[in-house]
Amino acid sequence: MKKIFGLVLAFALISGGLVFAGGAADGEAAAAGDDLIVVGYAQVGAESDWRTANTESFRSTFVPENGYRLIFDDAQQKQENQIKAIRSFIQQDVDYIVVAPVVETGWETVLGEAKAAGIPVILSDRQMKLSDESLYLCWVGGDFLKEGRDSVTWLNNYLAEIGRADEPINVVLLQGTIGSSAQVGRTQGITEGLAENPNYTLLAAQTGEFTQAKGQEVMESFLKAYDDIDVVFAENDNMAFGAIDAIKAAGKVPGEDIIIISFDAVREAFNRIIAGELNCAVECNPLHGPRVDEIIKTLEAGGTVEKIQYVQEGLFDITNAEELLPTRAY
Ligand code: GYE
């Protein structure tokens, strides 16, 4: 909807049999000559069920019927690809750039370029650590630190409930992509929470890159190294699913011999809780499309938006999973 491209100069001058016609200067201008708001979304990748739901949320929200043209880019979990995508959005002179940054740092240069081009940048899902906060307009996503803390609170309560509050408890941690704000926040919340209880020992922490395959692989190596694991924290559901497979293959019963706690709470996590294989899933809501839509509509109407917007999130276990499963769309 770039105003300047929207101005299509078309005139015909008929004089002495001569016809002059002026139109849009090029194909791009012609394509942008509609009333649609053009949004470039630099997505992380397709590493998890959460990510698939997030992509679908943007694809179904940013449609022409809702006033948008979406340019979607999947960076395959690589920051360099996201930087390239942002540069291409700038070149295409989009109206808004939305970024779900794969990692927190290293964005100043490219966001400076967007700023110089006068294109507002909205962050969604993960956060950035920037020396200059004016490089982005606002952010909307989950509170990862709180999620981490909540997961340990759940464990404390659960161990008390099953009469194991005074036992020594050995913990392993499957981390997300190192340097992503989802990993940084959850790891901090978990490790701080564990440190408050002298019964807990964190045996090992390693990244499973937020994927099921890597989660399984790392859990296999943990199981080989330690025969006395009591609890696994997986920083997303898919790594927990991989860990469940690894635990079964090692001849142990997931959810019983080893307590498993994950993050995201996608539909499959509810199934696993009901099956008794997963003990707790801390919610991280991926449906950011409508939230970013609301932000853009507010801005287009001349309004202002909150710089940081946390989404309210819950926690699911055997006490509520069955009841809530039908409400889970992703
Ligand atoms: O937990 C994980 C995904 O950034 C919150 O990324 C997101 C995380 C989510 O790969 O499944």
Cα–ligand 1 centroid distance for 51 (angstroms): 6
pLDDT at 33: 59
Question: What is the C-alpha separation between 255 and 129, in angstroms, rounded?
Answer: 36
- Mean pLDDT (whole number) for 2-17: 37
Q: Does the CB atom of residue 182 touch ligand 1 within 6 A?
A: yes
Q: Does the CB atom of residue 48 touch ligand 1 within 6 A?
A: yes
Which residues face 140 on adjacent strands? 124, 309
- Per-residue pLDDT tens over the stretch 49-80: 999 999 999 999 999 999 999 999 999 999 99
Question: With 80 as the cut, is the pLDDT of residue 8 above it?
Answer: no
| Burial profile 292-304: b = 16 or more Cβ within 10 angstroms, e = fewer | bbebbeebeeeee
φ and ψ at 173, to 5 degrees?
A: -130, 120
- Give 73: exposed, middle or buried? Use CB within 10 Å, 0-12, 13-18, 19+: middle
Q: Does the CB atom of residue 239 touch ligand 1 within 6 A?
A: no
Question: What is the C-alpha separation between 123 and 99, in angstroms, rounded?
Answer: 5
Ligand 1 atom showing the smallest separation from residue 180 Cα: 4
Q: Whole-angstrom distance between the N-terminal and C-terminal Cα of the chain?
A: 32
| 61 in Cβ contact with 293 (< 8 Å) | yes
- Give 25: exposed, middle or buried? Use CB within 10 Å, 0-12, 13-18, 19+: exposed
| Ligand 1 pocket, mutate which of 43, 44, 47, 48 (most atoms under 8 A from CB) | 48
Q: Does the CB atom of residue 263 touch ligand 1 within 6 A?
A: yes
pLDDT at 5: 40
- Per-residue pLDDT tens over the stretch 97-152: 999 999 999 999 999 999 999 999 999 999 999 999 999 999 999 999 999 999 99
Residue % of the chain over a pLDDT of 90: 89
pTM of the model: 0.90
- Per-residue pLDDT tens over the stretch 200-218: 999 999 999 999 999 999 9
266: nearest Cα among 41, 57, 44: 57
Ligand 1 atom showing the smallest separation from residue 264 Cα: 1
Question: With 80 as the cut, is the pLDDT of residue 22 above it?
Answer: no
φ and ψ at 320, to 5 degrees?
A: -135, -5
Q: Does the CB atom of residue 125 touch ligand 1 within 6 A?
A: yes
Question: What is the C-alpha separation between 45 and 21, in angstroms, rounded?
Answer: 45
- Per-residue pLDDT tens over the stretch 246-290: 999 999 999 999 999 999 999 999 999 999 999 999 999 999 999
- Mean pLDDT (whole number) for 292-301: 98
Q: Which of 16-20, 237-241, 316-320 has the lowest mean pLDDT?
A: 16-20
CA atoms within 13 A on the CB side of 197: 24
